[in-house]
Amino acid sequence: FAYFSRVVPPDNLQATAMAHVVSALGWTYVHAIAITGSYGERGIDSFRAAAAKVGVCIDGDVHKIN
């Protein structure tokens, strides 16, 4: 290809998709793992909100330093 472009969906859409996958698997409690920093913090916040909407409880989260 002479040119290549990649579009990454916003964190909130990725979090919504993950929450729906978790719900479809029948999981009601999960533990989240994220990288330390603003990207990981926003991701966890988005996932927590999306999970609550589909009835999934996040019982804790871990932030891993790169």
55 has pLDDT over 90: yes
For the chain, the average pLDDT equals 90
pLDDT at 51 (0 to 100): 96
Domains of the chain, each with CATH number or no CATH:
11-64 (3.40.50.2300)
Tell me: pLDDT of 31 over 90: yes
Residue 9 has a pLDDT of 82
User: What is the pTM assigned to this prediction?
Assistant: 0.80
Q: How many CB atoms lie within 10 A of CB 18?
A: 18
